[in-house]
Amino acid sequence: MHKDTVKERIEKHPCYCKDAHDKFARIHLPVAPACNIQCNYCNRKYDCSNESRPGVTSGVLSPEQALEKVIMVKQSLENLSVIGIAGPGDALANPSATFQTLRLMKAYNNEFIPCISTNGLNLPDHIDEIVELGISHVTVTISAVDPEIGQKIYSWIHYEGVTYQGVEAAKILLERQLKGIKMLVDKGVLVKINSVLIPGINDLHISEVAKKIKELGVFIHNIIPLMSKPEYGTKFAKEGVPEPDIKMIAKARFECAEIMGGFDSVMQHCRQCRADAIGKLGEEFDINSLSDEVIENSATVKSQVMSISRSLASESVTKNSSRASRNKMILVAVATENKYMSDVTFKNARTFYVYEVSGWGAHLREIRTLKYEDSEACIKLSGHLKNVLELLSDCSVVVCSVAGKSAVKEMRRRGVIIDTTGGYKLLEDAAWSVGIKRLNDSISKVTA
Ligand code: CLF
Ligand code: SF4
């Protein structure tokens, strides 16, 4: 890539370019709540610690709420240049919400720089969407390039439906991270690596991380000191793993700068932002400071968001549905606890959003609820299955986050499919992605 091109691409990014940090602002949109790994320096009650200070948490927004926030904030915050998704879980463990948010942002204003941060486990699966959406800056957190060290940093990973631990988990994670980074660099995406500096675990290994990422063509390395106060409640904090002192941080940064080609390639101004941070680095914007005029204008903003969202939805319907599927309709029930995402296991599902899905899109028909008395709180699976079947007798598919084999088998025997591929997606997305697949499958069976 030509040097000037890179210069142009970073000069408005406050993290990638130190001269931009006090001139340009970023907004983090907390649309990604789930995570697919467990880092020992993270307490999942709070935001992703790969970029955040532990002990603070962000409320989750839907993609539409996120766009609303951007439009409101933009009116009061000069030089807003970057839209970042950094949790509160992992951006790519919530691909549907992350990409829908950035799709909406692009449709609203193509001038923003889209930026995401990820642990990298799902990275290789999403390169095409990253490139298609013009996500030009991607951060991957890699704190070890040796699985023997990695196993001390991660408790588990959840990959392709299986939970792995120990060296095996660290090995899979590392392979996926390195593969994803290479694919991004080959596509011309600027990659930043965050490494958490953990005394006694990887402080003597950080230069090895720098060597590996330099080899892969990574743009910048960011050494983040471990935060490990007892009140953070992380595994490392409980085990008494200390925070690095200034000397250790300086030494690690110096060693990495030598390898990466100087201090321009080693970030020194990171603020370990929360997943809903707004403003210039170190100069947080107070969302409560929005002017009365902006607040009064919020109804107009809402309708602007709805119109952008509708026009994207109709484009997607036209792209993804066949003519035959437009004439058929099935009911898809999405189980939810938080009422915006398919976030609940089959066993614990009580509330179902029932969508009519046809080639024209997914439309909410009604919300159905199972009402269990307290005395029935521990209702047996067989009783729960019977109740779900009665409640959803007209539905073809039930979407939930996780389901046991016996529930899947028994429901299938009674003619209802349980589908977990829509797990952790926004309700409408979950209904649409699962429903249109079923419709297209049934049409191809008939025409085969
Ligand atoms: Fe956010 Fe991260 Fe993009 Fe920056 S933060 S997703 S690259 S826009 Fe920046 Fe914050 Fe440090 Fe992250 S100061 S925690 S490095
Ligand atoms: Fe926590 Fe982020 Fe690690 Fe997930 S990737 S466990 S959210 S620090």
- Asked whether residue 101 falls in the same domain as residue 215, the answer is yes
The CA distance from 334 to 310, in Å, is 21
In-domain check, residue 313: no
Among 10, 17, 18, 26, residue to substitute to test ligand 1 (most atoms within 8 Å of Cβ): 26
Gap from CA of 263 to ligand 2 centroid (Å): 27
Gap from CA of 431 to ligand 2 centroid (Å): 27
This prediction has a pTM of: 0.75
Gap from CA of 209 to ligand 2 centroid (Å): 19
- Asked whether residue 327 falls in the same domain as residue 262, the answer is no
- Asked whether residue 258 falls in the same domain as residue 407, the answer is no
In-domain check, residue 308: no
Measuring from atom 2 of ligand 2, which residue has the nearest CA?
Answer: 48
- Asked whether residue 70 falls in the same domain as residue 24, the answer is yes
- Asked whether residue 231 falls in the same domain as residue 345, the answer is no
- Ligand 1: list residues with CB < 6 Å: 15, 26, 28, 51, 82, 84, 86, 115, 117, 137, 139, 192, 222, 270-273, 281
- Asked whether residue 40 falls in the same domain as residue 124, the answer is yes
Closest atom, ligand 1, to C-alpha of 281: 13
Nearest Cα to Cα of residue 180 among 133, 230, 237, 218: 218
Q: Are strands 113-118 and 80-85 parallel, antiparallel or unpaired?
A: parallel
CATH classification of the domain holding 348: 3.30.420.130
The CA distance from 175 to 36, in Å, is 15
Which DSSP helix (H) or strand (E) runs through 167? helix 166-186
Which DSSP helix (H) or strand (E) runs through 138? strand 137-141
Share of the chain above pLDDT 70, in %: 93
Among 9, 51, 83, residue to substitute to test ligand 1 (most atoms within 8 Å of Cβ): 51
- Asked whether residue 234 falls in the same domain as residue 359, the answer is no
Share of the chain above pLDDT 90, in %: 49
CATH classification of the domain holding 60: 3.20.20.70
Closest atom, ligand 2, to C-alpha of 89: 7
- Asked whether residue 263 falls in the same domain as residue 349, the answer is no
- Asked whether residue 332 falls in the same domain as residue 420, the answer is yes
In-domain check, residue 306: no
Each residue's pLDDT tens digit, 319-365: 666 665 566 889 999 999 988 788 899 999 999 999 998 877 778 88
Residue at a domain's end among 267, 289, 311: 289
Whether residue 327 contacts residue 439, with contact meaning beta carbons closer than 8 Å, is answered with no
Gap from CA of 359 to ligand 1 centroid (Å): 39
Measuring from atom 4 of ligand 1, which residue has the nearest CA?
Answer: 15
Measuring from atom 3 of ligand 2, which residue has the nearest CA?
Answer: 39
370 token code pair: 């199972």
DSSP 277: -
Gap from CA of 38 to ligand 2 centroid (Å): 6
Highest mean pLDDT among 107-111, 305-309, 428-432: 107-111
In-domain check, residue 430: yes
309 token code pair: 């969202």
Number of domains observed in the structure of the chain: 2
In-domain check, residue 300: no
Measuring from atom 8 of ligand 1, which residue has the nearest CA?
Answer: 84
Which residues of 182-272 form beta strands (DSSP E)? 190-197, 220-225, 266-267
Whether residue 346 contacts residue 335, with contact meaning beta carbons closer than 8 Å, is answered with yes
Query: Angle, nearest 10°, between helix axes 427-447 and 95-108?
Result: 100
Gap from CA of 6 to ligand 1 centroid (Å): 18
Gap from CA of 27 to ligand 1 centroid (Å): 10
Least confident of 81-85, 95-99, 287-291, 372-376: 372-376
- Residue burial 226-249, b: 16+ Cβ < 10 Å; e: rest: bbbeeebebbbbeeebebbeeebb
In-domain check, residue 309: no
| 384 pLDDT more than 80 | yes
Host domain of residue 381:
321-447
Pick 76 or 129 by higher pLDDT.
129
The CA distance from 205 to 83, in Å, is 32
In-domain check, residue 25: yes
Which residues, other chains included, contact 129 with Cβ-Cβ below 8 Å and sequence gap of 6+? Answer: 95, 99
Q: Where do we find the tokens 């952008």?
A: 308
Average pLDDT estimate for 78-103: 90
Closest atom, ligand 2, to C-alpha of 118: 5
- Asked whether residue 279 falls in the same domain as residue 156, the answer is yes
Given this model, what pLDDT does residue 318 score?
A: 65
- Asked whether residue 149 falls in the same domain as residue 91, the answer is yes
Each residue's pLDDT tens digit, 301-321: 887 888 888 778 767 666 666
- Asked whether residue 366 falls in the same domain as residue 283, the answer is no
| 225 pLDDT more than 60 | yes
Q: Which amino acid is at 364?
A: L
Given this model, what pLDDT does residue 322 score?
A: 61
In-domain check, residue 297: no
Please name which ligand lies nearest the alpha carbon of 26: 1
Which DSSP helix (H) or strand (E) runs through 133? none
Gap from CA of 152 to ligand 2 centroid (Å): 15
Residue at a domain's end among 289, 306, 337: 289
